[in-house]
Structure 1
């Protein structure tokens, strides 16, 4: 792994000092959710709030829109179908990254004469927001007036809400189970470094969820230690979206599992993962502020929160099935196979998006609707709702 530069290390030390002060001010202990929130989102210091490149070959990880425009073009086919059944067609994208997904979707929808009235972007990172604004205005100037950046979720919205790799970056609580004992794993500062420390759970909502999960985690009542994550932020996020959405569809794309697989007995060390310079590891205390920290998504918890808030599950499947159902191979076929300089790179990109060894199976697509009952083409085959 390429070591950080001195400038980057200095930044990380500033982030470390900031988090240390928060720990000392909180009686020498903060939840991991608080730690992750500070490391990723502290204004001017957190990973997503600083100016370092995050996406693409020069960054720390690559998302589907960065891999290929085929992803956004194919997703646009699903958005076009949804648009035919809405009183008003707008798109609201959370965490738009480099802006490539917005660009590819808008250019594809322009071909079908089904452009949204507005393409809203809600981006918590000021740095990424500036890059999106600059890039999109340069790349699609004729569509720039349709794009609008928001500071917060609107009170009411009709259309499609889109979030690609957003849930996995939400701060999570880490829980440790041992027989009937359940503790929250937090962060303290000892011997000039961050270290884990377990304490009794104080949050009532968190405690209730952990108590409901215990039988699944330890069905044989054997003395085991089991560590995993609970994403309360995702639960609250779904409640907020349900309150905002008047009519339309919510499309979430991320990596994760249904609950029985998420909390499988063999997954006893959780799903926490960090990304630095395209290297994945499980140490969230390494160079805080310079690396991404993520957790897989419990799609059962997301579904339960959505349905409790009045949303209807419209489909749940793998990214591979979703893209194939929406016609990604037909879109590739628009480029002649004889034009090898263009066709072969796109063919390789398609494989990365749908191959089980790449993104095809780990990444899932889930859709929820309000006042919307039309079957979605993306789930016409391979629906896995029964696994939620």
Structure 2
């Protein structure tokens, strides 16, 4: 089908990619030649046994396609532990649930730091769609913190009830998104994926996906996404996802860390082509139709939409800030100064904090139920008014 040359995992990966491309081809045919982009993205990332996040290839770290904050520095997890300990204290104890736990590095650092703070959760639950990553997480936890391994459990779905903390580090950016464009006459088009001569490519046509036209019209009512030729994306799966979290969490804190913008910056007029980005072997590009299933596909997060969905699901907005200000509020300077390996941790701290790297590009949002006191991570600079 599409280009699946070596350099993306060898012959086995190429075979998986070809099988996934064939499945996408079948869905395109079933959709009369126009497959909604969000379904294409869902298949490319999560098709059982074939998608990028579930097929078993290395994804994170030096041997993968990208690195996340927990792999860059243990300081990230140690700082989050301070915030989690504060929230658990306000709740009188509880459990923790990490969504998409990656290599398991964040779970290890959090549990180690919480143990030192005498604030361990009753259970550390992980909801991870990738069997390969589940195995890596289990192995790392058993190797690094075997005495805490019994507290950890892997879930196939959200628990019915939870009192405690939900963590989602770089999860929202990997949720499938719809894409749209504005025609010269001002009408709204949807971006679809089609196939010609064995190649996937995108085309625009009148909106078919339920709710998309209304969602774009709502953006336009706020003054966004009006100019002819403008195109972007929108996450229609966010409200039901947040509603499910609202049903699960009886009381506690939802902590979301990701790259993104408030709506006014996300849909600003000069960002005319949206934020869709692909990652392959630490190189970023904007073509989602190559290396099917072998590359990450992401979109930045509209944090205004996250806050709106959270409030609608019964949460209170506890704070919104940059990653740098959040980590400073959690005491990263003190933690670094007290670390016996401070010299070796300093380069990683710079990556987490510098505005040109991760410090301002990544944001942190807190949503709460039953927690009324202020949270330390948002004490330095709360940007909620910008949402």
TM-score bracket, normalised by the shorter chain, equals over 0.9
- Equivalent residues of 1:19, 1:35 under 8 A apart: yes
Secondary structure at the counterpart of residue 101 of structure 2: coil
Aligned to 2:47: 42
Aligned to 2:249: 245
Q: Give the alignment of 1:1-388 within 5 angstroms.
A: 3-4=7-8, 5-178=10-183, 179-216=185-222, 224-335=228-339, 342-388=341-387
Secondary structure at the counterpart of residue 339 of structure 2: coil
Equivalent pairs, count: 381
How much has 1:180 moved relative to structure 2? 2.5
- Cα shift readout 1:126-152 (whole Å, capped 9, x = no counterpart): 111121112211221100111111111
Secondary structure at the counterpart of residue 85 of structure 1: helix
> How far apart, in 1, do the equivalents of 2:31 and 2:224 lie?
32
- Equivalent residues of 1:326, 1:377 under 8 A apart: yes
> How far apart, in 2, do the equivalents of 1:55 and 1:204 lie?
34
Aligned to 1:339: none
- Cα shift readout 1:363-386 (whole Å, capped 9, x = no counterpart): 000001112111000001111001
Structure 1: runs of 5+ lacking an equivalent: 337-341
> How far apart, in 1, do the equivalents of 2:171 and 2:286 lie?
19
Please, what TM-score do these two structures have when normalized by structure 2?
0.95
- Equivalent residues of 1:217, 1:226 under 8 A apart: no
Secondary structure at the counterpart of residue 225 of structure 1: coil
> How far apart, in 2, do the equivalents of 1:8 and 1:44 lie?
12
> How far apart, in 2, do the equivalents of 1:366 and 1:237 lie?
16
Secondary structure at the counterpart of residue 84 of structure 1: helix
Secondary structure at the counterpart of residue 280 of structure 1: strand
Worse-superposed segment, 353-362 or 17-26 = 17-26
> How far apart, in 2, do the equivalents of 1:369 and 1:234 lie?
17
Secondary structure at the counterpart of residue 53 of structure 2: coil
- Equivalent residues of 2:224, 2:267 under 8 A apart: no
How much has 1:7 moved relative to structure 2? 3.4
- Equivalent residues of 2:325, 2:381 under 8 A apart: yes
Secondary structure at the counterpart of residue 106 of structure 1: helix
- Equivalent residues of 1:177, 1:214 under 8 A apart: no
How much has 1:216 moved relative to structure 2? 4.7
Please, what TM-score do these two structures have when normalized by structure 1?
0.95
> How far apart, in 1, do the equivalents of 2:29 and 2:362 lie?
38
Structure 2: runs of 5+ lacking an equivalent: none
How much has 1:2 moved relative to structure 2? 7.9
